[in-house]
Chain A
Amino acid sequence: MSKNIFIDGKPITFEDGKTVLQVARENGLYIPTLCYHARTGPASMCRVCVVEVEGMRGLQTSCSLTPSDGMKIQTASQRVLDARKAVVNLLLANGNHDCLSCEVNGACELQDAAYHLGIETPAFFVKEYDERDASAAFIIRDPNKCILCGRCIVGCNGQVVNEVLEFGYRDSHTKVICDADLPMGLSTCVQCGECVQLCPVGAFIEKKAVGKARRWETHTVRTTCPYCGVGCQLELHVKGEQIVRVTGVEGAEPNQGHLCVKGRYGYDFIYSDDRIKTPLIREANGFREASWDEALDLVATKFQQIKQEYGPNALAGVSSARSINEDSYYMQRLFREVVGTNNIDHCARV
Chain B
Amino acid sequence: MTNSFGEFKNAKLFFLIGTNMTEAHPVASYFVKQALNKGAKLIVVDPRNHALARKADIFAQVKVGTDVALLNGIMYTLLEENLYNKDFVEANCTNFEELRTAVMQYPPDKAAAISGVTEETIREMARMMASVKPGMLCYTLGLTEHTSGTNNVISVANLQMLLGNLGVESGGVNPLRGQNNVQGACDMGALPGTFSGYQSVTNPEIRAKFAQAWSVENLPEKPGLMMPDMMSGLITKDVRGFFIMGENLAGSEPNISHAEFELASAEFLVCCDIFMTETTRFAHVILPSASWAESEGTYTNSERRISRVRKIKEAPGLSKPGWWIIKEIAKRMGHDWGSNSAQEIWDNEISTLTPLVAGVKYARLKQDGLQWPCPTLDHPGTKFLHKGGKFTRGQGLFKGIDWTPPAEIEDKEFPFMLSTGRRLVHYHTRTQTARAGLDQMAPEETVDISPDDANTLGIADSEYVRVSSRRGSVKVKARITEEVPHGLVWMAFHFREGNANWLTNNAGDTTTKTPEYKACAVKIEKIK
Contact = CB atoms under 8 A, between A and B. Distances in A.
A and B: partners?
Answer: yes
Interface of A: 137-138, 158-161, 190-192, 208, 221-233, 236, 238, 241, 243, 252-255, 258-263, 265-270, 272, 274-282, 287, 291-292, 295-304, 306, 310, 312-350
A271 to B, nearest CB: 8
Give the interface SS of chain A, mostly helix, strand, loop or mixed. mixed
Nearest to A332: B189
Interface stretch (B63-71, B384-392, B403-411, B510-518): B510-518
A223 to B, nearest CB: 5
Given A316-B225, A317-B242, A330-B345, A229 B177 contact: yes
Contact of A266 (B187, B294, B318, B436): B436
Given A279-B288, A279-B318, A300-B333, A318 B297 contact: no
Given A265-B438, A318-B245, A336-B219, A279 B322 contact: no
18 contacts: A137-B438, A161-B30, A221-B312, A227-B432, A243-B293, A265-B436, A270-B291, A277-B318, A279-B287, A299-B329, A299-B332, A306-B241, A318-B249, A320-B185, A321-B180, A325-B350, A330-B326, A344-B192
B224 A325 contact: no
Interface in B235-268: 237-247, 249, 252-253, 267-268
Interface stretch (B107-115, B119-127, B160-168, B303-311): B303-311
Interface in B138-196: 176-193, 195-196
Interface in B11-46: 24-28, 30, 33-34, 36-37
Interface string B266-301: 011010111110000001111111011111011111
B349 interface: yes
Contact of B247 (A281, A318, A329): A318
Contacts of B28: 230
User: Which 8 residue pairs spanning A and B have beta carbons closest together?
Assistant: A277-B317, A231-B301, A324-B297, A229-B177, A342-B224, A320-B246, A300-B332, A161-B33
Interface residues on B, range: 35 or more
Interface string B303-340: 10111111011101111111101111110111101000
Contact of A270 (B293, B326, B329): B293
B390 to A, nearest CB: 24
Given A137-B440, A159-B34, A326-B298, 12 more contacts: A137-B437, A158-B34, A223-B308, A236-B312, A276-B286, A278-B317, A279-B288, A303-B329, A316-B243, A324-B181, A335-B224, A343-B224
Contact of A326 (B274, B302, B350): B350
B333 A328 contact: no
A229 B183 contact: yes
B238 A262 contact: no
A345 B286 contact: no
A260 B424 contact: yes
B294 A270 contact: yes
B245 A326 contact: no
A269 B252 CA distance: 19
B230 interface: yes
A314 B230 CA distance: 9
A233 B299 CA distance: 11
B230 A343 contact: yes
Contacts of A260: 26-27, 424
B226 interface: yes
